[in-house]
A and B are shown apart, each in its own frame.
Chain A
């Protein structure tokens, strides 16, 4: 489990930030993105995959616990 931060990037997409290791990347896809349910599996630009327990859509940026499903680096 890792603490990550998800924020809206300037181009309108989502970006991923892992403070512990200072890794910043774009989020290419997110499993659930509706007002009631947000989270699930997120895919990163570098090929990594993380899983966030779904929650109601939060105000971004938000720090959440995430599980690494398939990490590149």
Chain B
């Protein structure tokens, strides 16, 4: 489909909203907009971070998902107890593919599900005793863990268990950090509040633990915040920073450790990749420790070069030279990749609906490949995310917040994009519609996509998906209306 004008896009939104009852229609209309680059503040035209309309199919998660699944889960040497019934922990175990180096079950615990498995009796009599016993068992079975976090599930908040008291008592007994996290799933409207709660727990229980301990710093210390090492993303980012002469002290939280996190207040600059999930702790460190923070984008060569230069501008000539050296080193390889894949992907249209940072950060990478993002939206973004997104997107593109299953399908039916990037819940619906789809939450079991090395994989994956011959075979032969189909049917 050719590019929409503003009026056509607005008409499309109206048309899609037509099926809703009056009240839901009014509510949903606030969450859909046509991008207008002249508007500085997104809140004038889009509402976000609001409760989803009952009855529609939303793709959002819960506060527990934001805390345990996103922020705490990837820290490798902390055991995260899913405190409550067994399901929440089982379904959030390792699905995000946060890679780590270490031996699972010995010194790393990312892909094991630890849960207190609440039963009726724990609801009636409280689960504090069980939690205490669980911590003792963990200490016996996994003595090399550096700390424990207690991630509350809904019932814990509902019955009013005092996990703080248990954590405090047990921490004194076993001499390790035990962090109670009040991330019950019913809090907030989406996983976004879970990120906030998790950041606050880090702030209260971890960040100042090594304030009075000596640390051998260098003027080039940085920390990577908001990179969850999905498919090895943080590693692909880290080597670039190290190549330009910086020292990466901590990775938050993909392949990160408790000690790294405790040492983060000693760095000179915090590099923030996922703004939505980690800006809270960056703000705290800026206020308390006077560490500036900087948002960067490691998707696609154009944005990586921009980001490397911006990061380097916070340091001296040595690092700035280093950044230029890194850029010069990788440019020929990147040019080769673009030369190879751009002719195959030129002019293809993409629609995105993910979380966190991807709907805006990957726009540059798609543009490097000659592709065009015609629609983007977030599950759980706030208005400051849309402020940033509107600048990245072209005029008259669609922006949708917390889009419902129906709306998204309808947009796709009408706009006919060549590729959709979204989550596992949307994946099979669009596969059945015959639209090329990449699962962009965990890179569709591929990755890394960050950094120069990641872009090579990104380009290959997009080509593999868009130009896959299978999409032409989805229509049954007897339903094909062309001559060839008739021939076969006869």
Partners in one complex: yes
Q: What is the distance, in angstroms, from A66's C-beta to the closest C-beta of chain B? A: 15
B68-76, B280-288, B319-327 - interface stretch: B280-288
What's the nearest-Cβ distance from chain B to residue A64, in Å?
Answer: 11
Q: Would you call A62 and B283 a contact (CB within 8 A)?
A: no
Contact of B119 with A by CB under 8 A:
no
Cβ–Cβ contact A46 & B41, under 8 A: yes
Using CB atoms, name the residue of chain B closest to A6. Answer: B287
If A46-B41, A46-B43, A59-B290 touch, does A22 touch B283 (CB 8 Å cutoff)? no
Indicate with 1 or 0, residue by residue over B267-290, a CB within 8 angstroms of chain A CB atoms.
000000000000010010011001
A contact residues around B40 at 8 Å (CB): 45
Q: Tell me which of B41, B49, B287, B382 contacts A63 (CB under 8 A).
A: B287
Given contacts A7-B283, A17-B283, A46-B41, contact A22 B290 (CB under 8 A): no
Residues of B within 8 Å of A24, CB to CB, are: 382-384
Instruction: Report the minimum CB–CB distance from A17 to chain B (whole Å).
Output: 7
Q: Is B196 an interface residue (CB 8 A)?
A: yes
Whether A71 is near chain B, meaning CB under 8 Å from some CB there, is no
Q: How far is the CB of B271 from chain A (nearest CB, A)?
A: 15
What B residues does A61 contact at CB under 8 A? 283, 286-287
Asked if A19 is at the interface of the complex by the 8 Å CB criterion, the answer is yes
Minimum Cβ distance to chain B for residue A57 (Å): 15
Residue in chain B with minimal CB distance to A19: B280
Residues of A within 8 A of B287 (CB): 5, 7, 61-63
- Considering only CB atoms, which chain B residue lies closest to A73 in the complex? B43
Q: Using a CB-CB cutoff of 8 Å, which residues 53-68 of chain A contact chain B?
A: 59, 61-63
Q: Within 8 Å CB of A73, what residues of B?
A: 43
Give B337 Cβ to nearest chain A Cβ, in Å.
Answer: 31
B196: chain A residues at CB < 8 Å are: 19, 22
Report A39-51 CB contacts with B as 1/0, cut-off 8 Å: 0000001100000
In Å, the complex CA distance between A24 and B386 comes to 12
Q: Give every chain A residue within 8 A of B286 (Cβ-Cβ).
A: 7, 61
The CA of A24 and the CA of B387, in the complex, are separated in Å by 10
Bound CA span A24–B382, Å: 9
The total of chain A residues at the interface (CB under 8 A) is: 14
In the bound complex, do residue B41 and residue A22 qualify as a contact, i.e. CB atoms below 8 Å apart? no
What number of B residues sit within 8 Å (CB to CB) of A? 14
Q: Please, how many angstroms separate the alpha-carbon atoms of A24 and B287 in the complex?
A: 16
Contact B49 A22 (CB under 8 A): yes
In the complex, the chain B residue whose C-beta lies closest to that of A5 is: B283
Residue interface bits A14-35, CB-to-B below 8 A is 1, else 0: 0001010011100000000000
In the complex, the chain A residue whose C-beta lies closest to that of B276 is: A22
List B residues 238-287 near A (Cβ within 8 Å): 280, 283, 286-287
Q: How far is the CA of A44 from the CA of B181 in the complex (A)?
A: 33
Which chain A residues lie closer than 8 Å to B192 at the CB level? 22
* Residue numbers in A under 8 Å from B383 (CB-CB): 23-24
Closest beta carbon of chain B to A9's beta carbon, Å: 11
| Inter-subunit contact A22/B382 (CB<8 Å) | yes
The chain A residue sitting closest to B295, CB to CB, is A10
Smallest CB gap from B385: residue in A: A24
Interface residues of B in 102-147 (CB under 8 A from A): none
Output the least CB separation between B50 and chain A (Å): 11
Q: Please indicate the chain B residues that have their CB under 8 angstroms from the CB of A7 in the complex.
A: 283, 286-287
Residues in chain B near residue A22, CB distance under 8 A: 49, 192, 196, 382
A73 to B50, CA, bound (A): 12
Contacts of B280 in A (CB 8 A): 19
The CA of A56 and the CA of B192, in the complex, are separated in Å by: 35
Closest A residue, CB atoms, query B44: A46
Contacts of B43 in A (CB 8 A): 46, 73
Per-position contact with A for B412-439: 1 when CB-CB < 8 Å, else 0? 0000000000000000000000000000
What would 18 A/B residue contacts be, using CB atoms closer than 8 Å?
A7-B283, A7-B286, A7-B287, A17-B283, A19-B196, A19-B280, A19-B283, A22-B49, A22-B196, A22-B382, A23-B383, A24-B382, A24-B384, A45-B41, A46-B41, A46-B43, A63-B287, A73-B43
Residues of A that sit less than 8 Å from B by CB: 5, 7, 17, 19, 22-24, 45-46, 59, 61-63, 73
Not counting A7-B287, A22-B192, A73-B43, a sample of 6 additional A-B residue pairs whose C-beta atoms are within 8 angstroms of each other reads: A7-B283, A17-B283, A22-B49, A23-B383, A24-B383, A61-B287
- Could you tell me which B residues sit within 8 Å of A by CB distance? 40-41, 43, 49, 192, 196, 280, 283, 286-287, 290, 382-384
